[in-house]
Amino acid sequence: MPWIIFHIDVNSAYLSWSAVEQLKNGAETDLRKIPAIIGGDRASRHGVVLAKSISAKKYGIRTGEPVVDAIRKCPNLVIAPPDHRLYSDYSRKLMTFLRGYTDQIEQVSVDECYMDFTEIAPRFSSPMEGALEIKNEVRRQFGFTVNVGISENKLLAKMASDFEKPDKVHTLFPDEIKEKMWPLPIGELFMAGRSSVEYLQKLEIRTIGDLAQMNPELLEIHLKSHGRKLWEFANGMDNSPVEPVRQEAKGIGNSITLPQDAKTEEEACEVLGKLAGSVGRRLRKAGQKAGMISVEIKYYNFENSSHQTQLERATNEDARIYETAAELFREMWKKQPIRLLGIRSSKLTDAFAPEQLTIFEVQPEMEKRKKASEKKAKLEQALKEIRGRYGEEAVIRGSNMEEKREKEK
């Protein structure tokens, strides 16, 4: 029986939660219904847009852009400061509510989570009915809205939740991929970062469908393992289960708050190199290898971002950890000053446990052994022919030659 996975995502979380709290305290205007953003300061014109209303989006305002640019696009823009303590409180309430349905909840950020709906599906006439109940109850009890994506795996459920917003339920089952997902721009694919999108566009890959129909080996040549992963995602492939206990809690990691903000890729990668060395040493000391690597960035304005990737083979080597971390960093860095960097390893295994070789590793080893066997057979044949023509003593081992000389003395 296939899984039934929900991805539940709060619509413009910071803005929605701020709006709900303001309305509770007597505000007459709902931030969600006017051009408004969360982030920065109008007087100093510093900071970036952390969240925006639908009205603000119509002015071309984007999450992550400088506040000064947003004001330029919409001079009457309403700006509210972030309140991370408030957001944590609303997030906690939401997760507690969702766990009232099932404890199979994997929270991936303050405003989104996956729910494995499979076991509780028989309580409802359909997954759609269950998702609609959850969505409507969130709005009724808390005053903010969520989108719910439904599918057979986490990737497709997340893609579905990003369809039309707000306050919607969408499905994206495997038989709907070609119709609903393939026509979308490549930039809307999960894990397709800015640099990857730019590279793919140079290859004339414009849509998710274009990517899905590419030769994955060609993508690996250009984008290494990330190219293969993007191709799998474009074809809806994802076998990762909902993990109620975060793997990071079982991992080994390190982070550092920088004395001065890192502003260039070179500065950031130098820090990542040191962190990778630290994580690698700790893994080796613990006798562990990591199957997953994640990178965390905290920007100068305290905005957080993180990316993770599954490794083809578990490792505790500094160079491999750094290579993976640097690749993740380049995918998600917004070209903004960095206050903190971190690397965390998870999905740990015993470093000395036997490993299952892949076909790509087994075949070269078999070829190597075959060549060695053929070389030995040719040598034996040559020795046989020489001895046949010149006698058994014509060719002897070096060690035997030494023994013969000693006897002659």
- Of the listed 112, 296, 327, 331, which one is catalytic? 112
Note the pLDDT of residue 33: 95
- Residues 6 or more apart whose CB falls under 8 angstroms from that of 369 comprise none
Strands, E, within 100-203: which ranges?
A: 105-109, 112-116, 146-151, 169-171
- pTM (whole model) above 0.75: no
Q: What percent of the chain has pLDDT over 70?
A: 85
Distance CA 27, CA 34 (A): 13
Say if residue 4's pLDDT is above 80.
yes
- pLDDT one-digit tens code per residue, 5-42: 999 999 999 999 999 999 999 999 999 999 999 987 66
* Antiparallel, parallel or unpaired: β 112-116 and 51-52: unpaired
Distance CA 401, CA 404 (A): 5
- pLDDT one-digit tens code per residue, 256-315: 888 888 999 999 999 999 999 999 988 888 888 998 999 999 988 878 888 888 888 889
Task: Give the residue with greater pLDDT, 188 vs 257.
Answer: 188
Locate 106 and state its tokens: 């994997």
CB distance 108 to 10 below 8 Å: no
pLDDT band at 149 (very low <50, low <70, confident <90, very high): very high
Distance CA 252, CA 379 (A): 51
- pLDDT one-digit tens code per residue, 358-381: 444 445 555 666 676 677 667 767
Residue 112 annotated among the catalytic residues of the structure: yes
Distance CA 186, CA 217 (A): 18
User: Which of 218-222, 246-250, 274-278 has the least mean pLDDT?
Assistant: 246-250
Omega prior to 166 cis, within 30 of 0? yes
Q: How many CB atoms lie within 10 A of CB 172?
A: 26
Taking alpha carbons only, the member of 82, 90, 83 closest to residue 49 is 82
Note the pLDDT of residue 248: 45
Distance CA 2, CA 174 (A): 11
Note the pLDDT of residue 385: 74
Chain-wide mean pLDDT for the chain? 87
Residue 315 β-bridge partners? 290
Distance CA 177, CA 391 (A): 75
CB distance 339 to 257 below 8 Å: yes
Note the pLDDT of residue 249: 46
- Residue 166 is classified by DSSP as S
- pLDDT one-digit tens code per residue, 266-281: 999 999 999 999 999 8
* Antiparallel, parallel or unpaired: β 78-80 and 36-38: parallel
* CA within 13 Å, CB half, 113: 23
Note the pLDDT of residue 285: 83
pLDDT band at 354 (very low <50, low <70, confident <90, very high): low
